[in-house]
Structure 1
Amino acid sequence: MASDPTAGGAPAEMPVEPDDQIDIPGKPEGDLQQLQAEKADLQDKLLRALAEAQNVRRRAQQDVERERKFGIERFAKDVLSVADNLGRALSALPSNTDSIDPALKNVIVGVQATERELQSALERHGVTRIEALGKPFNAEFHQAMMEIEDPSVPAGTVVQELIPGYLIAGRLLRAAMVGVSKGGPAARPASNEN
């Protein structure tokens, strides 16, 4: 015979009202505060870790962009010597090509075309030539190699370009080596333009 717990010897359990407080053995009230403090600490650590991850991602993107812009810098410096040699070859040629042999004239035209193509390739990759002649001397972009006496030009003006200068993505790749006028009235101060 099955015994009914409410009918016989054992007392029936009383329903718990929501307002009643139950003491759970082994869980003092201080544990709740400790858990809340741990939760706040973990949230702080999570936010810091997320911020650090975002900073690392941003720095990596900046590094990739910098490498994309300036990664060819060493190669570009090496190619500049080729451009210099082509420029020297062109400057050594006679200015009047009418009286020379047609075969030599074709070589001259070929060297000129090669020099233009090289300059175009450099510009496509962000390497631009610094325009120096006739501009006020600017130590950021020019390296003075000599002073030239010329009273017709304001002092401090670039009157001769020995070796052209170049920028890569707006940053100096090689300064222009120039001759600067030391005669005439003073030139206006150089701006930060090339």
Structure 2
Amino acid sequence: MTQKPATDEPNPDLSAQEANETAPREATPETQLAQAEAERDDLKDKLLRTLADMENLRRRTEREIADAKAYAVTSFARDMLGSADNLRRALESVPDVARGDGEAALKALIEGVELTERDLLKTLERHGVRRIDPQGEKFDPNLHQAMFEAPDPTVAKGMVSKVVQSGYKIGERVLRPALVGVSAGAPKSEAPSGDADNGSTSSN
């Protein structure tokens, strides 16, 4: 009696076991809840980050708009400073005698130049440009540029003793620093020469 060759027939019991192992396991309610909470926390974090970015963008945009309005005339204002300087030089060059005892036409001219200067400064102020006149104030390197330092018994050391040229600010920025002289304080007192002579003669 001949035996039939063995064939690779599927084992129904083995196939069922493999199917059970490869089939996805159903998540438990606890696992589903944990996943939902993790997704919720992730979405909440993304939402908060987005809101924070939007708030920062809004503030930055408002600040840029405000700066653009405040400093839009910077170049024009800087060009106008030369005119303001010339008016100030013209007034400072007028002798005191001419102001008090000069002819009526000369007085009218001086008053006209003074009025023009005041009007120009008011116009600049309306656009946020203010003059820096630090006479007698403490020297500030952020606002002033020192041209020289000299002894001055009437002004304390480190204070502005002379304004060579007025400075200007636009908003909170320096448009042009003021050119100033700084006091070095009272000059150092020297011993009288007579005392030295007396000391040398007394020792002989």
TM-score (norm 1): 0.69
1:29 equivalenced with 2:31 (yes/no) = no
> Percentage identity across aligned positions?
43
Q: Deviations over 1:142-194 (max 9, x none)?
A: 211012333343232322111111222233222110112224179xxxxxxxx
Q: Which residue of 2 aligns with 1:161?
A: 163
Tell me which of 149, 152, 176 is aligned to 2:151.
149
Q: Deviations over 1:49-107 (max 9, x none)?
A: 22222221111111112222233222222222211111111111222334434333222
Judged with a 3 Å threshold, the aligned counterparts in structure 2 of structure 1 residues 155 and 43 are, in CA distance, closer, same or farther, namely: closer
Q: Deviations over 1:125-158 (max 9, x none)?
A: 2222223112232222221101233334323232
Bigger Rg, structure 1 or 2: 2
For 2:41 and 2:155, how far apart are their aligned partners in 1? 73
Where 2:148 maps in the other structure, the secondary structure is: strand
Q: Quick one: which amino acid aligns to residue 168 of structure 2?
A: Y
Q: Quick one: which amino acid aligns to residue 27 of structure 2?
A: E
Tell me which of 129, 134, 158 is aligned to 2:136.
134
For 1:40 and 1:156, how far apart are their aligned partners in 2? 60
Unaligned ranges ≥5, structure 2: 1-23, 189-204
Moved more, 51-60 or 151-160: 151-160
For 2:106 and 2:25, how far apart are their aligned partners in 1? 101
Q: Which residue of 1 aligns with 2:48?
A: 47
Q: Which residue of 1 aligns with 2:64?
A: 63
For 1:123 and 1:34, how far apart are their aligned partners in 2? 64
Moved more, 128-137 or 52-61: 128-137
1:87 equivalenced with 2:85 (yes/no) = no
| Map 1:108-127 → 2, pairs under 5 A | 108-127=110-129
User: CA contact under 8 A between 1:130 and 1:167: conserved in structure 2?
Assistant: yes
Judged with a 3 Å threshold, the aligned counterparts in structure 2 of structure 1 residues 54 and 153 are, in CA distance, closer, same or farther, namely: closer
For 1:39 and 1:92, how far apart are their aligned partners in 2? 78
For 2:159 and 2:177, how far apart are their aligned partners in 1? 16
Where 2:96 maps in the other structure, the secondary structure is: coil
User: CA contact under 8 A between 1:155 and 1:185: conserved in structure 2?
Assistant: no
Tell me which of 104, 107, 111 is aligned to 1:105.
107
User: CA contact under 8 A between 2:151 and 2:187: conserved in structure 1?
Assistant: no
Where 1:155 maps in the other structure, the secondary structure is: coil
What root-mean-square deviation, in Å, do the aligned CA atoms of Structure 1 and Structure 2 show? 2.8
Q: Quick one: which amino acid aligns to residue 76 of structure 2?
A: F
User: CA contact under 8 A between 1:136 and 1:158: conserved in structure 2?
Assistant: yes
Relative contact order, higher structure (CA 8 A, sep 6+): 1
User: CA contact under 8 A between 1:159 and 1:180: conserved in structure 2?
Assistant: yes
For 1:147 and 1:61, how far apart are their aligned partners in 2? 43
Where 1:29 maps in the other structure, the secondary structure is: coil
Count of aligned pairs: 161
User: CA contact under 8 A between 1:167 and 1:173: conserved in structure 2?
Assistant: yes
Q: Which residue of 1 aligns with 2:181?
A: 179
Where 1:150 maps in the other structure, the secondary structure is: coil
